Structure 1
């Protein structure tokens, strides 16, 4: 396998990058689908062909794109612009069908937007805002003169970071890093109805669809907790040392995938037995991963399971690439180049 370029634009002057992005189409008709990659230090989203990882399009965002959500109907994506030195206050909305230009939604006083999920209607979404301690319900189709924020629900202190939704979208769950807790939010009543300890550094969060289980990765505790979705009681605690930072499920709900950032690995759990069935090493053995520009080691963070193919994609932040994993034998089969500091991932079919 030919070694990919780790950073194809590293030596280009900063002012050239927006010009190059403008020359690339925002959306393309790619039958195989595309992987969307949010590049936090490049303020961009790259579209990579799921056939071979080649870049097909670039969309510019505001500073610090941290998370990506694709609507259930597959027609648009929303990106949270967390900001860098200055808190961000916006979402970038992309039309994946290519019929409309990208647009920006201002969240007003609600800064540091991060976790984001679309509601089932594909029109509204929920987003956490760390700076204001809220979970927002945002209407993407609000009129030009209307406030897009349909509800601002206080979730309290503790750094509400990521968000997950129940199967029917009526309940949201927010992980709090500093508090080490998970909160339950009734969206119809627009209020928080419960909060319970999960583990120190609670961050990654995912709802196992069709099974009524809420899973949380607690990065400082090195654990994954499985919760009852109503009481938030901890039903199981799984060991996952090495800074478990994100958690997602495969499309069939059979496996839970956890990126252990400092361990440089993907932990694979059988969701029924609650046991680890595979560990995928993600860092190269050639020592190339030390990033002298960022002054940090490469860390696997963002992860997503392909909904139609037996593959998983992991963003290696600090190494500027995606590790492509075959779920048949849980091995890395390819590496695709990205922009600076990839993290957020989405699949556009």
Structure 2
């Protein structure tokens, strides 16, 4: 009996040590100082967390009462605008004032619109939004709450969008059609459809506007497209389930989040070669699988100073901070449940 008692005590002690170890290793550890505020949208918690990147402290928590994973700032950075993808109330757009960190307004779009992808429009108080049911790119004025233009993508399940840095041209991914719609925003018409495989997901454009890179979650691949000729320049493999991608501020590198694999791949923009695999804690070893949450990197954002990238690790309720010189995770930010969209404001 004494032996059984000692075994039980030892078992309890070991379980307690393991439990405490799990708690300790999963704690976020923010150790850098840089400028600006990071707005973190947590889908399940239905709120926006405002994190001061210099002090390392949360300075606001803004309830938004909606399931959102796409957000952007207006051109003047005065507002963060959020869409309500994946909900029966997908015709709702919410606007957060970045000066007061208060939910300023809820815009109820009058029609049965399902807003998803969103991008800053190159005019004050305006954003470009994708309606994935009507397959439309529309311009929303968040000051007047009015839709100022609508342009059909002429494809199915339109999803995400980027705008050329120097031209009034938008590029929209279409999941079901396996294509990119190239839209002339000055003349309000589609000027090219680029077919590149069913499963188009993430999209980004090089800072000089010469190329768009597009991921495919069905094929675990990425295509590179020349924006002048619309020619597909290259196709190469990614990790498992490449959701989002983002170019570095100088355009030399492209980071891709592989959600199911739990990794971020770094590609050289000139050579089109993968130069680094950043594996997040949780899948590398058996011990990591015990101690950490299974990683799921989803959204990605670059700091304007070019020094850091921020990656939403949705399963772990953390933001992973990547040093853009070493391509290593150097800090983490604790979040509410299931972080996704990220927005930076100076």
| Offset at residue 108 of structure 1 (A) | 2.5
Q: How many Å apart are 1:51 and its aligned residue?
A: 2.8
Shift in Å, 1:318: 2.1
Shift of 1:4: 5.3
Equivalent residue, structure 1, for 2:221 = 223
Unmatched tracts of structure 2, length 5 or more? 1-23
Whether the 8 Å CA contact 1:120–1:168 is kept in 2: the answer is no
* Cα distance between partner residues in 2 of 1:289 and 1:158: 42
**Matched-pair contact (CA < 8 Å) for 1:265–1:283:** no
What is the match of residue 37 of structure 1? 40
2:49 is matched with: 46
1:141 aligns with 2:143: yes
Q: 1:232 pairs with 230, 233, 237, which one?
A: 230
Instruction: Give the TM-score of the pair, scaled to structure 2.
Output: 0.84
Residues 1:243 and 1:254: Cα distance change in structure 2 (over 3 Å) = same
Aligned partner (choices 300, 303, 307) of residue 304 of structure 2: 307
Q: What is the CA–CA distance in structure 2 between the aligned matches of 1:75 and 1:3, rounded to whole Å?
A: 37
Give SS of 1:287's match.
helix
Aligned length: 316
Select the structure that is richer in helix. Answer: 2
Matches of 1:98 and 1:233, distance apart in 2: 45
Q: Deviations over 1:30-85 (max 9, x none)?
A: 9831111111112111111213643211122242111111233322221112243x
Distance 2:127 2:330 in 1: 34
Describe the shift of the 1:99–1:247 C-alpha distance in structure 2 as closer, same or farther (beyond 3 A).
closer
CA apart distance, 1:300:
0.6
Q: Write out per-residue CA displacement over residues 147-187 of structure 1, whole angstroms, 9 at most, x where no aligned residue.
A: 61011211134211110001135111101122221111111
TM-score (norm 1): 0.83
- Counterpart of 2:181 in structure 1 is 183
Q: Tell me: CA distance 1:290–1:193, structure 2 relative to 1, closer, same or farther (3 Å).
A: farther
Displacement, 1:107?
Answer: 2.2
Aligned to 2:118: 116
Who wins on radius of gyration, i.e. which is larger? 2
Verify the 8 A CA contact 2:282 2:295 in the aligned structure 1: no
* Partner in structure 2 of residue 56 of structure 1: 59
d(CA) in 2 for partners of 1:246 and 1:329? 21
Q: Give runs of ≥4 in structure 1 deviating > 6 Å.
A: none
